[in-house]
Amino acid sequence: MSKIKIAIIGVGNCASSLVQGIEYYTQNPDADGLMYRDIGPYKVSDIEIVLAIDVDYRKIGRDISEAIFAEPNCTKKFSEVPNKKVIVKMGNVLDGVANHMRDFFQVDSKMISVDIVSELKRSSADICICYLPVGSAEAARFYAQACLDAGVAFVNAIPEFICSDTQWVEKFIEKGIPCAGDDIKSQVGATIVHRMVTRLIEDRGHKIDNTYQLNIGGNTDFLNMKDENRIVSKRISKTNAVTSILDNKKIGVRIGPSDYIPHLKDNKVCYINVKGTQFGGVPFELDLKLSVEDSPNSAGVMTEIIRSLKIAKDRGMSGNINEISSYTCKSPAKQIRDSEAKKIFENFVNEQYGKL
């Protein structure tokens, strides 16, 4: 089976876990931790990094096997990654680096961006992943446009509304290119747990009056999100991901990143609270704490998106592939309950390749 060639925009913690994971499941094909060992003909070991773009001079010019462990990345090292002969190249900064992040994402203003469209074409990438910091509205659209110009499929892992936006999807359809997004939904993360718990409560006949989800962490993603102006779309994405699948929309709700606690590093801690009314009008309350390593939690799902989007590409599909986006992202064009989204995703793969 041919390799799935991928380009990465933003060699941060999520990219680190993805690159380490590809190596890990190549060396240990029977190891636990994946939702699917095979997706159609593709295994995780079929994913090959061919291009990496960042703007932090501590990563640029280094092989991706080293750059993924360069500061300020702080996620756990769980895999030895040999030299991949993929040198990280300088991208377009645009709005990727917030003012309060300049000491953390260190940009050398003398470094000039490579031509992204030419690099994407030269690398023969099948799929390009956008792993930019939250709030990179302009930069995310710049790289999405570069994918359109280069004929490369696009995955938007961040809360910018591109693959769920009709006008952008039209552009991907016109060019005959598939895409999936927006805002990746982690394997067992705050969003999926909050969706499951609140749905369970409604399915069992209790009424939800209000709910909150507080998230804290110590990676650059959490530091970047200290600026409320940068996280407007993140709050929308995370809130809609929960409220969209509830019957009662008229509830008090507050969901989103809540603080940066440096010593937590890539450990994300999430507190979910739900208050409501049970049988006989009697009140109930639920409190739940989830503590996870943030970046590997999204990397597993990314291996699913990459492999299924390659199937879409092999089939000549274009535009947003909702069978993939609804299952794997917080803000797909179409929100579907997770149990149904799983069936639709598996049917999408199975229609050609048999049982997942």
Ligand X SMILES: NC(=O)c1ccc[n+]([C@@H]2O[C@H](COP(=O)([O-])OP(=O)(O)OC[C@H]3O[C@@H](n4cnc5c(N)ncnc54)[C@H](O)[C@@H]3O)[C@@H](O)[C@H]2O)c1
Of the pair 208, 231, the CB lying nearest ligand X is at: 231
Among the listed ranges 27-35, 52-60, 305-313, 347-355, the one in contact with ligand X (CB under 6 A) is: 52-60
Q: Which is nearer to ligand X, 20 or 219 (CB)?
A: 219
Q: Which is nearer to ligand X, 185 or 206 (CB)?
A: 185
Query: By the 8 A CB rule, do 305 and 186 touch?
Result: no
Angle between helix 13-27 and helix 294-314 axes, rounded to 10 deg: 70
Establish if 119 lies at the interface with ligand X (CB under 6 A): no
Note whether 311 binds ligand X by CB under 6 A.
Answer: no
Tell whether residue 213 is a contact of ligand X (CB under 6 A).
no
304 binds ligand X (CB under 6 A): no
**Residue 325 contacts ligand X per CB under 6 A:** no
> CA torsion angle for 278, 279, 282, 285 (degrees, to 10)?
-20
Quick one: CA torsion of 145, 244, 299, 305, rounded to 10 degrees? -60
Structure tokens at 321: 């592939």
Rule CB under 6 A: is residue 105 a binding residue for ligand X? Answer: yes
- C-alpha distances (whole Å) from 50 to each of 3, 23, 45, 123 are 11, 14, 14, 6
Is there a contact between 117 and 91 (Cβ–Cβ < 8 Å)? no
Binder among 46, 54, 165, 293 for ligand X (CB under 6 A): 54
CB of 266 to ligand X, least distance (A): 8
Q: Does 92 bind ligand X (CB under 6 A)?
A: yes
Q: Which residue is nearest to ligand X (CB)?
A: 12
d(CA 208, CA 329): 24
Pairing of strands 283-293, 267-277: antiparallel
Number of chain positions touching ligand X (CB under 6 A): 36
Query: Which sign does the torsion angle of CA 117, 122, 127, 129 carry?
Result: negative
Binding of ligand X at residue 93 (CB under 6 A)? yes
44 contributes a contact to ligand X by CB under 6 A: no
List of residues contacting ligand X (CB under 6 A) = 9-15, 53-56, 91-94, 96-97, 105, 131-134, 139, 157-158, 183-184, 186, 189, 219-221, 294-295, 297-298
